[in-house]
Structure 1
Amino acid sequence: MAPLVRFAPSPTGYLHIGNARPALLNALFARAHGGRFLLRLDDTDRERSTEAFAQAIETDLAWLGIVPDLRARQSERSAAHGAAADRLRALGRLYPCYETPEELERRRKRQLGRGLPPLYDRAALALTENERAAMEAAGRIPHWRFRLEPQVVAWDDLVRGDAHVDCASLSDPVLVRADGSYLYTLPSVVDDADLGVTHVIRGEDHVTNTGVQVQIFEALRAVLPVFGHHNLLTTADGEGLSKRLGHLSLRSLREAGYEPAAVRSLAVLTGSAEAVRAVESMDELAGLVDLGHISRAPAKFDPQELDGLNARLIHTMPFADAKTRLAAIGVSDAVAERFWLAVRANLRTVGEAADWWRIVEGPVTPVIADAAVTAAALETLPPEPYGPETWKAWTLAVRERTGAKGKALFMPLRLALTGLEHGPDLAGLLPLIGRGRAERRLSGAVA
């Protein structure tokens, strides 16, 4: 059976580079195995979930190259969640608890003070019907906990191999809040089961959740998916990534001019057996991803590495891929291809081409660093048309006239023509600048 994977973000903020990792690993797994990708918005947090964030998630995924085959929203499946909760109640696996947060916190502190793990003591299970009725008559509304069996849950993890969770070491998790809303755990199981998810690939921070959820799957007599828990992306300093790190949001990376292929490559290949490199194609990247070869150590995301990957992509980017973006910054169609081939080796992002188009078009304030060299250059400036060999022939003439060579020859010309000490090869820029602007700049005029 072809796999069905899912990416299940909460629309409570913008996706960041850490979210890109599970989204891509799922999408690439589906691509490699002829499967489908489900985008399921876990929007049970009614206060913080917004339609704007939901739309932003779709936009970010599309930018990464992920187009979902299926879509679902947990907020539209509350009837299924309620039916599952009722089944668990009938089985005696979901039971009401009446403690307030303050009472639970006091118990937790007492347990810690006695050197005991702060587990829920299941006091609610000992309440009689009369005691529960008295609690509710006093205005207490219960929250509902899932009664875990004190057993070791084991599975063959796609990433980690043999994996297990000792549920005897866990508190019975709250599945339903006092206001009737659901925590992540139950809707996730119900939706995975009902929608036919075959593989759950997510971060290793969900390993304990998997132990709990396996018991819920089994209590509901649902088919268990295959689980895989990959390592998490961290900052270079080892700090966990979160939505608070706005500069690493996919939206910010896109606006900063990074290429999706660079972001994809670093998000997926970091912390794997594959060397990190820029991989253009989603199909090629899917062929490189082997979940069983992902490291168990945290995967450190270094923005400087992203800069390098992005620059390497730009340096070899065909004109056809840059054409539309060059037009958007005003580059003339007549010279756009020649301009792109002249400047791309000096760019980190396509957007930086705008700076060099301003150098070509002007106005530029020239810097006359050596009057003798620029005067000779002006006197020997050849007539148009200019081509790839014009620069070489012209600088040879200036050298013969002045005796200047190397940096003493080329730097004064660069400063006069561009106003800058560094930049693209002037053999490619000079034909774009043209004789008229070159003549005025060599004369010291702003042009």
Structure 2
Amino acid sequence: MTTTRFAPSPTGYIHVGNLRTALMNYLIARKAGGTFILRIDDTDPERSKEEYVDAIKQDMEWLGLHWDRVERQSDRLDRYAETADKLREMGRFYEAFETPTELDLKRKKQLNMGKPPVYDRAALNLSDAEKEALRAKRGNGVWRFKLDHERIEWNDGILGDISIDAASVSDPVLIRGDGQVLYTIASVVDDTEMGVTNVVRGSDHVTNTATQIQIIEALGGTCPRFAHHSLLTGPQGEALSKRLGTLALRDLREQGVQPMALLSLMARLGSSDPVELRSEMAELIEGFDVNRFGAAPTKFDVQDLFPLTAKHLQSLPLADVAEAVADAGVPADLAEPFWAMARENITTLADLKGWWELCRDGAEPLIADEDREFIAEAMALLPEGSFDGETWGKWTSTVKEATGRKGKGLFMPLRKALTGMERGPEMAILLPLLQVIRAKA
């Protein structure tokens, strides 16, 4: 069975970059009728916060990315410890004691000599007595996985054939000196024991994937099918990493972005398929193919979300937005005609309030000096009684006959006088709402 996972760290709010990873893994699992796991990477007790765990779940529920089960890495520390012991017994795990300053000096020396700046494995030459002395002086060391210096190869679902020389990579630290288990080993243990078959993540993990493949193979596990998506940039190709904090999903939700607009964009962005607004998740699932994504950096412009949001809202019946219409202050008996008027003229649901205020309170008339007499005459010709969908056409015909005005010279001054705007909804739809509200006042 196909099994995928999304493994966020609860150290902050998830953003569009995280969403790209979550969505791809979700769509793969759902298309195959498989399992999608939400795995909370909370092995860092200092930075992990329960409020962020709750926020991650809320954001995913808002988007409709429903998981089949939740796993917490903090509940699995004993499994990581057992795996660490197994690697020690195999001679593939060793303790190292260099300080950050010492490691930095080694890297600089290697670079000056034209060599790859990788860890030199000096710790392997330490005697037991030397290790004890270093522990007494510096505390526990870090634990590194000893890589086999050979080429690590796999066929990537997006990048194609990958080949990395393990000798060009430092032996990865899997456990810190303070005992904290790092992502590299935790992820290997979890992916293996949870039967994860497909892993999609950012291209910044390629080297990490190479080391994980060796760890999985050393432990006798089966490697998942890896795919590494491109990283997002800004609309001009600028680095987006420093701005991701301002592109948190909850901030986009607060700005009125609709879930299907965001999902429709992210499900195609960076692929060879055009972005198309979809109305439901099933369409995204059916049309998804991770192999159609490219390796080039992918431009993301948050402004692209708003036309998609507007288009999505235009397609919705009143029942889907009834709460937002009510929150804008619209009485229940006017909700249907109000939504019919407003839906074509909003970008987000927050815009409903302004349109309701126009209907309820009217607007400051926008009347040019040369139109004042015309407007006064036209207003005097407004028909008595209730207005309906025919009123605008009948009234403007009467005004045309009385004043001789026609076309833009007729309609624009009337629109500006009634709405204070040069453009907006069809006046035939808006006029009855204006009249009804005034009649109720």
Aligned to 1:378: 379
Code of the residue aligned with 1:249 in structure 2: it is A
Aligned to 2:93: 94
Distance in 2, Cα, partners of 1:244 & 1:179: 31
CA pair 246-160 structure 1, distance change in 2 beyond 3 A: closer
Aligned to 2:80: 81
1:188 aligns to what SS in structure 2?
A: helix
Code of the residue aligned with 1:327 in structure 2: it is A
Aligned to 2:318: 319
1:145 aligns to what SS in structure 2?
A: strand
Aligned to 2:304: 305
Cα RMSD of the aligned pairs, angstroms, is 1.8
Code of the residue aligned with 2:266 in structure 1: it is A
Distance in 1, Cα, partners of 2:232 & 2:36: 22
> Is the 2:359–2:437 Cα contact (8 Å) retained in structure 1?
no
Q: Is 1:29 the counterpart of 2:28 in the alignment?
A: yes
1:214 aligns to what SS in structure 2?
A: helix
Aligned to 1:228: 227
Q: Is 1:43 the counterpart of 2:42 in the alignment?
A: yes
Q: Is 1:427 the counterpart of 2:428 in the alignment?
A: yes
Code of the residue aligned with 1:350 in structure 2: it is L
> Is the 2:362–2:418 Cα contact (8 Å) retained in structure 1?
no
Structure 1 range deviating more: 49-58 or 113-122: 113-122
Deviation at 1:244, TM superposition (A): 4.7
Deviation at 1:189, TM superposition (A): 0.6
Distance in 1, Cα, partners of 2:97 & 2:269: 46
Structure 1 range deviating more: 130-139 or 71-80: 130-139
Distance in 2, Cα, partners of 1:243 & 1:384: 60
> Is the 1:203–1:229 Cα contact (8 Å) retained in structure 2?
yes
What whole-Å deviation, never above 9, does each CA across 1:240-259 have from its counterpart, x for those lacking one?
A: 44475343211011011111
Code of the residue aligned with 1:429 in structure 2: it is L
What whole-Å deviation, never above 9, does each CA across 1:313-344 have from its counterpart, x for those lacking one?
A: 12222222222211121111111111111121
Runs of at least 5 residues in structure 1 that lack an aligned partner in the other structure: 439-446
> Is the 1:12–1:48 Cα contact (8 Å) retained in structure 2?
yes
1:430 aligns to what SS in structure 2?
A: helix
Distance in 2, Cα, partners of 1:187 & 1:424: 57
Distance in 2, Cα, partners of 1:393 & 1:284: 45
Q: What does residue range 151-300 of structure 1 map to in structure 2 within 5 Å?
A: 151-242=150-241, 244-300=243-299
> Is the 2:360–2:437 Cα contact (8 Å) retained in structure 1?
no
> Is the 2:17–2:244 Cα contact (8 Å) retained in structure 1?
no
> Is the 2:144–2:171 Cα contact (8 Å) retained in structure 1?
yes
Distance in 1, Cα, partners of 2:183 & 2:212: 10
Code of the residue aligned with 2:288 in structure 1: it is V
Aligned to 1:414: 415
Distance in 2, Cα, partners of 1:350 & 1:138: 62
Distance in 2, Cα, partners of 1:76 & 1:137: 31
> Is the 2:362–2:434 Cα contact (8 Å) retained in structure 1?
no
Deviation at 1:394, TM superposition (A): 0.6
2:71 aligns to what SS in structure 1?
A: strand
What whole-Å deviation, never above 9, does each CA across 1:118-143 have from its counterpart, x for those lacking one?
A: 11100000112222222223344211
Code of the residue aligned with 1:105 in structure 2: it is D
Distance in 2, Cα, partners of 1:240 & 1:185: 25
Structure 1 range deviating more: 151-160 or 181-190: 151-160
Distance in 1, Cα, partners of 2:138 & 2:245: 42
What whole-Å deviation, never above 9, does each CA across 1:365-406 have from its counterpart, x for those lacking one?
A: 223332222212222111233221111111111111112222
1:304 aligns to what SS in structure 2?
A: helix
Code of the residue aligned with 2:405 in structure 1: it is A
Deviation at 1:22, TM superposition (A): 1.0
Distance in 2, Cα, partners of 1:7 & 1:420: 48
> Is the 1:151–1:166 Cα contact (8 Å) retained in structure 2?
yes
> Is the 2:92–2:146 Cα contact (8 Å) retained in structure 1?
yes
Deviation at 1:29, TM superposition (A): 0.9
CA pair 192-240 structure 1, distance change in 2 beyond 3 A: farther
1:247 aligns to what SS in structure 2?
A: helix
Structure 1 range deviating more: 246-255 or 232-241: 232-241
Deviation at 1:203, TM superposition (A): 1.5
TM-score for both structures, normalised by structure 2: 0.95
Code of the residue aligned with 1:252 in structure 2: it is D
> Is the 1:271–1:299 Cα contact (8 Å) retained in structure 2?
yes
Distance in 2, Cα, partners of 1:127 & 1:398: 99
Deviation at 1:305, TM superposition (A): 1.8
Q: Is 1:392 the counterpart of 2:393 in the alignment?
A: yes
> Is the 1:18–1:241 Cα contact (8 Å) retained in structure 2?
no
Deviation at 1:436, TM superposition (A): 7.5
> Is the 1:200–1:225 Cα contact (8 Å) retained in structure 2?
yes
Q: What does residue range 312-391 of structure 1 map to in structure 2 within 5 Å?
A: 312-369=311-368, 370-391=371-392
Runs of at least 5 residues in structure 2 that lack an aligned partner in the other structure: none
> Is the 1:16–1:242 Cα contact (8 Å) retained in structure 2?
no
What whole-Å deviation, never above 9, does each CA across 1:116-172 have from its counterpart, x for those lacking one?
A: 221110000011222222222334421111100011121222223322322121010
Deviation at 1:271, TM superposition (A): 1.0
Distance in 2, Cα, partners of 1:296 & 1:29: 18
Distance in 2, Cα, partners of 1:246 & 1:143: 31
Code of the residue aligned with 1:399 in structure 2: it is K
TM-score for both structures, normalised by structure 1: 0.94
Distance in 2, Cα, partners of 1:59 & 1:143: 36
What whole-Å deviation, never above 9, does each CA across 1:24-77 have from its counterpart, x for those lacking one?
A: 111111111101110001112222211111111111111111111110111111
Structure 1 range deviating more: 58-67 or 398-407: 398-407
2:39 aligns to what SS in structure 1?
A: strand
